[in-house]
Amino acid sequence: MAKLGKRTRAAREAFAGKENLSVAEAVALIKGNSNAKFDETLEIAMNLGVDPRHADQMVRGVVGLPNGTGKTVRVAVFARGPKADEAKAAGADVVGAEDLMETVQGGTIDFDRCIATPDMMPIVGRLGKVLGPRNLMPNPKVGTVTMDIKEAVEAAKGGQVQFKAEKAGVVHAGIGKVSFDEAKLIENVKAFVDAVAKAKPTGAKGTYMKKIALSSTMGPGVSVSVEDASAQ
């Protein structure tokens, strides 16, 4: 534990006094101070000027990161017949209907993304209390309730990231691995910020993007210039 303490202190010292950096500076700083024994995830947190309790201020969307997330995503699909076959052919990890519902109700949730055909929603709807809190409930707004199962599964497997504002108006996501090239991480950051910008709700008033911070899984966070992160 003493060694871990030294690493943590060293990282905090490296980050001390540094704020409002460019995306490139922040990514370089995080990569240079990542020394965990595993490939950490680059995480982004955005403080938005919204109150998600109001329907016209909810921020929700999906973005296909240009360089993927580096994470293996397990996908479950609620479908029957030809659409179930299509899901399996596309690489879905779990496919089913009532049987899958019973599995989830039994407490087994062995997937990271859930997709459903529209006719399956009466069944999936019974799982709202289980899937909802885990942000796994299929939703047509983010393309997870669809007849185009092949495209949805391939997008989920290929690095697509969903985002949703939490109670305090914070959007958080993992957007790549620290081992990625700096240029690829910068591209992913800017693509994510751009997607959140385009998801600005009609009810948002005042400053929409208040603060952006980047961090690694185990490392301290550093604030990033909103202007730089928003520039394409």
- For every residue of 92-128, DSSP letters joined together read -SEEESHHHHHHHHTT----SEEEE-GGGHHHHGGGH
Mean pLDDT along residues 122-136: 94
DSSP SS3 for 53: coil
Alpha helices in the chain (DSSP H): 2-15, 23-32, 81-90, 98-105, 121-124, 128-131, 149-157, 182-198, 226-230
CATH code matching the domain that covers 75-157, chosen among 3.40.50.2300, 3.40.50.300, 3.40.50.720, 3.40.50.790: 3.40.50.790
Who contacts 7 (Cβ-Cβ below 8 Å, separation ≥6)? 35
Out of 1-5, 48-52, 110-114, pick the least confident. Answer: 1-5
Strands 94-96 and 75-78: parallel
Mean pLDDT along residues 83-89: 98
Percent of the chain beyond pLDDT 70? 93
Break the chain into its structural domains and give their ranges: 18-69+160-230, 75-157
- Tens digits of residue pLDDT in 132-144: 999 899 999 889 9
The total number of residues shown for the chain amounts to: 232
Band (pLDDT 50/70/90 cuts) for residue 10 is low
Band (pLDDT 50/70/90 cuts) for residue 84 is very high
Q: What is the DSSP letter of 206?
A: S
Higher model confidence: residue 158 or residue 149? 149
- Tens digits of residue pLDDT in 159-189: 899 999 998 999 999 999 999 999 999 999 9
Closest CA to 101 of 86, 81, 80: 80
Domain 18-69+160-230 has CATH 3.30.190.20: yes
Q: What is the pLDDT of residue 12?
A: 67
